[in-house]
């Protein structure tokens, strides 16, 4: 949802995205930004995943970003943004002081502590303007174009998931995951090296990993199709998909679809064995 500020004028008007998983806090920062005279448009996102969907097509000058969010937190999202070819300016908005060093290490132009006042916000927007002016001044003159430039690559959403454990963060790559098991608002990622609990609903992960051959085989399980070594029957006559990270129950309603997809993959040579995966 975007809000326009009629007071902002011309090329100086900033397009800004605000990201916060707490609705009242998001409402507050969006209202402050909409009232700022040099902000022309304000968009909002309730988490990092929604932000990653919005940013590639939004043409934003700045992202005002909360840090403590479920799934991918603000610092991790900031790292993704900083790696973009033409990143927006990053302003962190948080209730915690201890992340400032990490935030500035990512190239953030400012670090605001909640609650944010209008004067402090105006100072941050001034820093955004100066940073953008500095980028424009240091940018090399473009060479005469012979062919249109290719479009910027789209951010691969949820290709890597951060896992928090005892104050430490590990990163699990999607390609290492054999299957995913639902645990309420969390999922457990099963890999040959072990399992990892992450706070993200199974339905959301299914939405983003569907294109990478993760298929629903049970109401509580996603299965990476190339990870299947064989199908087995359990003691009760149910179907199990065997992987090198364990067996996955397949419900009756999904059994036929899974068999057909495995047959199609095997016929086309796309079905990998565990040994083949391990040598890649």
Contact 207, 215 (CB under 8 A): no
What's 33-75 look like in SS3? HHHCCCEEEEEEECCHHHHHHHHHHHCCCEEEECCCCCCCCHH
Per-state percent for the chain, helix, strand, coil, to nearest 5:
35, 30, 35
Average pLDDT over the chain, rounded to an integer = 84
Q: Spell out the CATH class of 2-137.
A: alpha beta
1: which 2 tokens? 């949802």
Label residue 141 by pLDDT band (50, 70, 90).
Answer: low
Per-residue pLDDT reduced to its tens digit, 198-251: 888 999 899 889 999 999 999 999 999 999 999 999 888 899 999 999 999 999
pLDDT band at 135 (very low <50, low <70, confident <90, very high): confident
- Report, in angstroms and rounded to the nearest whole number, the Rg of the chain calculated over CA atoms: 23
| Residue bearing the bigger pLDDT, 55 or 26 | 26
Q: What is the pTM of this model?
A: 0.51
Domain map of the chain by residue range? 2-137, 160-279
Rounded CA separation 251/229 (Å): 18
Q: Which stretch of 42-51, 60-69, 100-109, 121-130 has the lowest confidence by average pLDDT? A: 100-109
CATH, range 160-279: 2.40.50.1020
pLDDT digit string (tens) for 152-195? 445 566 788 888 776 677 888 999 999 999 988 889 999 999 99
Contact 109, 124 (CB under 8 A): yes
Cα of first residue to Cα of last residue in the chain, in angstroms, is 43
Beta strands in 74-150 (DSSP E): 89-94, 110-113
Predicted confidence band of residue 67 (pLDDT cuts 50, 70, 90): very high
């Amino acid at each position: 949802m975007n809000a326009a500020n009629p007071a902002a004028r011309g090329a100086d008007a900033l397009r800004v995205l605000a990201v916060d998983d707490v609705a009242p806090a998001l409402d507050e920062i969006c209202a402050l930004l909409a009232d700022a005279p040099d902000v022309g448009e304000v968009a909002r996102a309730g988490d990092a995943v929604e932000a990653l969907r919005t940013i590639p097509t939004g043409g934003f000058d700045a992202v005002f970003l909360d840090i403590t969010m479920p799934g991918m937190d603000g610092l991790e999202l900031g790292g993704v943004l900083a790696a973009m070819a033409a990143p927006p300016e990053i302003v962190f908005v948080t209730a915690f002081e201890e992340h400032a060093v990490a935030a500035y290490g990512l190239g953030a132009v400012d670090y605001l502590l909640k609650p944010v006042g209008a004067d402090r916000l105006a100072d941050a927007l001034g820093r955004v303007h100066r940073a953008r002016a500095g980028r424009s001044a240091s940018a090399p003159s473009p060479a005469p174009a012979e062919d249109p430039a290719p479009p910027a690559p789209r951010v691969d959403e949820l290709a890597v998931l951060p896992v928090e454990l005892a104050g430490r963060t590990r990163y699990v790559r999607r390609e290492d995951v054999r299957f995913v098991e639902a645990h309420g608002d969390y999922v457990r990622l099963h890999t040959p090296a072990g399992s990892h609990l992450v706070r993200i609903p199974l339905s959301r992960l299914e939405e983003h990993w569907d294109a990478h051959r993760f298929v629903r085989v049970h109401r509580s399980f996603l299965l990476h199709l190339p990870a299947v070594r064989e199908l087995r029957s359990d003691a009760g006559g149910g179907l199990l998909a065997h992987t090198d990270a364990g067996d996955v129950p397949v419900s009756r309603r999904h059994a036929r679809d899974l068999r057909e997809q495995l047959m199609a993959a095997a016929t086309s040579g796309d079905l990998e064995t565990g040994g083949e995966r391990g040598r890649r």
